[in-house]
Amino acid sequence: MGSPLCILIVASDQEEVFRIIREIKSQGFSPLYQVAMSKEDWDKRIHEEDWDSILVSFRWNPVIPPMNLLLDLKSKQLDIPFIIISHPENYNESLKLMSAGAADIIDATNLFRLTHVLERERRELVFRREKEVTQSYLEKSLKEIQFQNYAVDQANIVSITDASGIITYVNDKFVQISGFSENELIGSSHRILKSQEKSKEDWENFWQTIRQGKVWHGEIKNTKKDGSSYWVETTIVPFEDDDGSVFQYIAIHHDITNRKLAEGQLTHDAFYDNLTELPNRALFLARIEQRIFEYNSNQGGFPIVISLNLDNFRRINHSLGSTAGDDILRIFADRINKFCGISAITTRLTADSFAVLVVDFLSIEEGLDFAIRLQDHLKEIIPYRGYDLYLTASFGLAGFGMGGKEAEEILKNAEIAMFHTKENKVGSICTFSEDMKEKIHYQLEIQNDLRKGIERSEFIVFYQPILDLKSNEIGHWEALVRWKHPKKGMVSPIDFIPMAENSGLILPLTKFVLEETAKFIQSVLETRGKTIVVAVNLSPQVFQHQNIFHWMVDIKQRYEIPYETIQVEITESLAMKNMEETVPILENLRDIGVKIALDDFGTGYSSLSYLEKLPLSIVKIDKSFLNNVTAGSKEAKLLVSIIYMAHDLGLKVVAEGVEEIAQFKLLGEFKCDMIQGYLIAKPLSREDANHFLEKFTGQIY
Ligand code: C2E
Ligand code: CA
Ligand code: CA
């Protein structure tokens, strides 16, 4: 029977109420009830309980019209059965109430149906209420599920398969990433995606896990319809029936392609050179190690490393731009690779240096033969954007056991041999030997010290006077740099200039010499009111990196000295090699009044024909040229003809390294314009040079 009935009785007199209660009790119920006999009662009581029913006794003169109550109930949205106990004279009225929503009408003269109706109404009410609760719960859940589905669908690639792995659902993202249409996917298995990089065993484990109803988590590489690949991180959730058998799998995938590509790139970058795609130093060393192992266990050939460095590659970058430089490096790498074949391994070590590991030869001599052939092959013209480029490379060779048995040592030795080639004969080949090592060590030490030396101002500039034979006055000076090494004492420029040139330190060094020279000129101008001219040596490397013209303009402005006070000395090699680059710069210099001297004439190509092409004012004949000059000798005749030809071209001639009076006299006879050498003075410090200027009378001997 459950909880007692809870009834609100609306009646006009107490008697009526008792009658109703008696009737209910007579049928075995003990209702909880309240009575409303006025509108106030109604208003108060209606909210007091959770009424199972409202019983309205309807007489011809009711205290409150029942229709008003029913409407009030509706307006309050209270779902309480509204039962009318009607007297026969009110039947019509009561029927109206029924159509307005009353639950039932009971004949007031015969109440036996009352408890039955009350019970029924209570049952229905409970049912209605439960239904309402369930419905709102259901609606809420449904909304939540829809929302979750939406969220899952938005963020993930989702697919559902049946127990046998046949796809029954895919979301839009699945369609998008795979490139297959929904129609193509539904009904087929995941095999359509041709997953890669998983073994048979992996798949067996996979199926075992999910068939047991366990969640599987892992990464899968799939193939799109267009053949390209994509990576997904996948979670597969099996769904089981009540009997425990899996009836479907929901797979949620995340696209991790970008991450995978980045990871792949990282591994690639760790071992390969981006520009040429060649193995890098680390991988190359590992390969040497491997070949050494094979060689030691009689499974492979004699490991030889060839180190090669492009000669003058900076020039390509400088004149054609770095993009062209990159292209050419790639072409070059390709050439090496193709020539050396598949058993060889090529690496790029720095911008313009490569190394090749070969194992096809029995001895270093055979390796050398091969290297020579490779070198010739690389010399072949490279046609590039309408240019015919001619590149050479300097080679160094080292084999297993030659001063080293470990990968790193062998490679280093090959590089040392290559540096040796660079130093001695650019474009040729050297095989490693121990003495090279010592020399390189010394040079490396010097190179290190050079860097520090520039920072610590260990350099000074000396000035050597050059005598004008006609006027018997100091025509000009040459600035010569000196290094006061903290341990080694004075180091000759012959020892450190080449190193400075190879390491780029020549730039700050030259700048320093220029600044010092300008200070010297300025100080002489200020203290003596005398304008002196000083020549500065310029290495080819300075022209490659710097527009020396801008330096001159800057120096002139800062020190307020005329352009004519500075001369530059360039070597034959510079003039010959990069004519197309250097000539315009030199012409600019000449145009502002800077005189240009050709240094060391006679040591290199010694060809007068190209002198015409350069904007020169002076030719300096190298000291070695004077060594064998005696009156009437072959050398003397050559010297005379050089001086005459130079004069024909409008050039002045300086003879360098004049130490003896005899030389001095001969040169005078030969109409040489100027002489420089210990006979006049050694290179002097700034103070000594000032001193010299003060004392110099023109008297040589
Ligand atoms: P260089 O330009 O031919 O300079 C002349 C060299 O001959 C100087 O050697 C000078 O001291 C030396 N010399 C002068 N008169 C005599 C002589 O009568 N007898 C002998 N035996 N030698 C004489 P230094 O100062 O040792 O310079 C050597 C080379 O170093 C220079 O040769 C030049 O090529 C280079 N150099 C020196 N200073 C600089 C510099 O500031 N920049 C650049 N790029 N190179 C420099
Ligand atoms: Ca010089
Ligand atoms: Ca010289």
Q: For CA atoms 325, 329, 332, 338, give the dihedral sign.
A: negative
Q: How far is CA 383 from CA 338, 443, 456, 693, in A?
A: 17, 37, 47, 57
What is the rounded CA–CA span in Å between residue 483 and residue 190?
Answer: 76
Q: How far is CA 341 from CA 55, 149, 217, 308, 447, in A?
A: 107, 58, 45, 17, 37
- Going by their DSSP bridges, the two strands 595-601 and 387-389 should be labelled as unpaired
Which ligand 1 atom is nearest residue 659's CA? 18
Q: What is the mean pLDDT of residues 166-179?
A: 92
pLDDT at 576: 64
For residue 52, name the pLDDT band (cuts at 50, 70, 90). very high
Which residues in 71-225 belong to E strands, given as ranges? 82-86, 104-107, 157-162, 167-170, 216-223
Report which of 648, 607, 595, 604 is spatially closest to residue 622, judged by C-alpha positions.
604
Closest-CA residue, ligand 1 atom 41, reads 481
Q: Which fold has domain 141-261?
A: Beta-Lactamase (3.30.450)
Question: Quick check: 322 pLDDT over 60?
Answer: yes
- Going by their DSSP bridges, the two strands 216-223 and 304-310 should be labelled as unpaired
The most distant pair of C-alpha atoms in the chain lies apart, rounded to whole Å, by 168
Q: Which residues contact 291 (CB under 8 A, 6 or more apart)?
A: 300, 301, 303, 357, 359
Question: Quick check: 363 pLDDT over 60?
Answer: yes
Closest-CA residue, ligand 1 atom 17, reads 657
Q: Indicate the range of 128-137, 335-344, 403-412, 463-472 predicted with least confidence.
A: 128-137
Q: What is the mean pLDDT of residues 587-601?
A: 93
**For the CA of 601, the nearest ligand:** 3
Closest-CA residue, ligand 1 atom 35, reads 493
Query: Do the Cβ atoms of 340 and 379 come closer than 8 Å?
Result: no
Among the four given CATH numbers 1.10.1040.10, 3.40.50.1100, 3.40.50.2300, 2.60.120.560, the one describing domain 6-119: 3.40.50.2300
Q: From the DSSP assignment, how many helices (H) and strands (E) are in the chain?
A: 25, 26
Question: Quick check: 122 pLDDT over 80?
Answer: yes
Q: State in Å: Cα 622 to ligand 2 middle.
A: 9
For residue 638, name the pLDDT band (cuts at 50, 70, 90). confident
Q: What is the mean pLDDT of residues 336-349?
A: 91
Question: Quick check: 157 pLDDT over 80?
Answer: yes
Closest-CA residue, ligand 1 atom 37, reads 480
Q: What is the pLDDT of residues 190-240, one digit of tens each?
A: 888 888 878 888 888 888 888 888 888 888 999 999 989 899 988 888 888
Q: State in Å: Cα 480 to ligand 1 middle.
A: 6
Closest-CA residue, ligand 1 atom 27, reads 493
| CA 25, chain centre distance (Å) | 92
Which helix (DSSP H) or strand (DSSP E) does residue 28 occupy?
none
| CA 27, chain centre distance (Å) | 92
pLDDT at 130: 82
How far does the chain reach from its first CA to its final CA, in angstroms? 148
Query: Do the Cβ atoms of 261 and 249 come closer than 8 Å?
Result: no
What is the rounded CA–CA span in Å between residue 165 and residue 421?
Answer: 68
Which helix (DSSP H) or strand (DSSP E) does residue 427 occupy?
none
- Going by their DSSP bridges, the two strands 473-485 and 489-491 should be labelled as antiparallel
CA angle centred on 274, ends 269 and 275, rounded to 5°: 170
What is the rounded CA–CA span in Å between residue 598 and residue 605?
Answer: 12
pLDDT at 61: 62
Q: What is the pLDDT of residues 574-593, one digit of tens each?
A: 666 677 778 889 999 999 99
Query: Do the Cβ atoms of 374 and 361 come closer than 8 Å?
Result: no
What is the rounded CA–CA span in Å between residue 226 and residue 223?
Answer: 8
Q: State in Å: Cα 560 to ligand 3 middle.
A: 28
pLDDT at 107: 86
Q: Which residues contact 237 (CB under 8 A, 6 or more apart)?
A: 215, 249, 250, 251, 252
Question: Quick check: 606 pLDDT over 60?
Answer: no
Lateral strand order in the sheet of 393-399: 345-350, 353-358, 304-310, 393-399, 429-431
Closest-CA residue, ligand 1 atom 23, reads 657
Helix (H, G, I), strand (E, B) or coil at 562: coil
Among the four given CATH numbers 1.50.40.10, 3.40.50.300, 3.20.20.450, 3.40.50.11540, the one describing domain 445-690: 3.20.20.450
- Going by their DSSP bridges, the two strands 304-310 and 246-255 should be labelled as unpaired
What is the rounded CA–CA span in Å between residue 400 and residue 363?
Answer: 10
Task: Give the environment of ion ligand 3: residues with CB less than 5 A.
Answer: 599-600, 656
What would the two tokens of residue 620 be?
């300096």
Query: Do the Cβ atoms of 597 and 570 come closer than 8 Å?
Result: yes
pLDDT at 333: 94
Lateral strand order in the sheet of 82-86: 32-36, 6-10, 53-58, 82-86, 104-107
Mean of per-residue pLDDT scores for the chain: 89
Report which of 109, 36, 107 is spatially closest to residue 73, judged by C-alpha positions.
36
pLDDT at 608: 66
pLDDT at 27: 84
CA angle centred on 100, ends 98 and 104, rounded to 5°: 25
pLDDT at 112: 83
What is the rounded CA–CA span in Å between residue 495 and residue 493?
Answer: 5
pLDDT at 605: 57
pLDDT at 644: 92
What is the rounded CA–CA span in Å between residue 640 and residue 646?
Answer: 10
3-class SS shares of the chain: helix, strand, coil, % to 5: 50, 25, 30
Question: Quick check: 430 pLDDT over 90?
Answer: yes
DSSP letters for 219-238? EEEEE-TTS-EEEEEEEEEE
pLDDT at 599: 93
pLDDT at 60: 60
Q: What is the pLDDT of residues 542-552, one digit of tens each?
A: 887 777 899 99
Which residue is associated with the tokens 């160094």? 396
pLDDT at 54: 94
Q: Indicate the range of 258-272, 521-535, 632-646 predicted with least confidence.
A: 258-272
Q: Where are the domains of the chain?
A: 6-119, 141-261, 276-432, 445-690
For a pocket test of ligand 1, which of 459, 460, 480 has the largest count of ligand atoms closer than 8 A to its C-beta? 480
Total length of the chain? 701
Q: Indicate the range of 34-43, 315-324, 369-378 predicted with least confidence.
A: 315-324
What is the rounded CA–CA span in Å between residue 557 and residue 537?
Answer: 21
Q: State in Å: Cα 3 to ligand 2 middle.
A: 122
Nearest 5°: phi and psi at 244? 90, 0
Q: What does DSSP assign to residue 611?
A: G
Closest-CA residue, ligand 1 atom 7, reads 657
Buried residues in 180-206 as b, exposed as e (16+ CB within 10 A): beeeebbeeebebbebeeeeeeeeeeb
Among the four given CATH numbers 3.40.50.620, 2.60.40.420, 1.10.10.10, 3.30.70.270, the one describing domain 276-432: 3.30.70.270
Tell me whether domains 276-432 and 445-690 share a fold: no
Q: What is the pLDDT of residues 268-317, one digit of tens each?
A: 787 888 899 899 998 899 899 989 998 998 888 899 999 999 998 877 87
Query: Do the Cβ atoms of 177 and 230 come closer than 8 Å?
Result: yes
For a pocket test of ligand 1, which of 506, 513, 537 has the largest count of ligand atoms closer than 8 A to its C-beta? 537
Question: Quick check: 661 pLDDT over 90?
Answer: yes
Q: State in Å: Cα 392 to ligand 3 middle.
A: 28
Residues with CB under 6 A from ligand 1: 464, 480-481, 492-494, 497, 510, 513, 537-539, 599-600, 623, 656-659, 676-678, 683
Q: What percent of the chain has pLDDT over 70?
A: 97
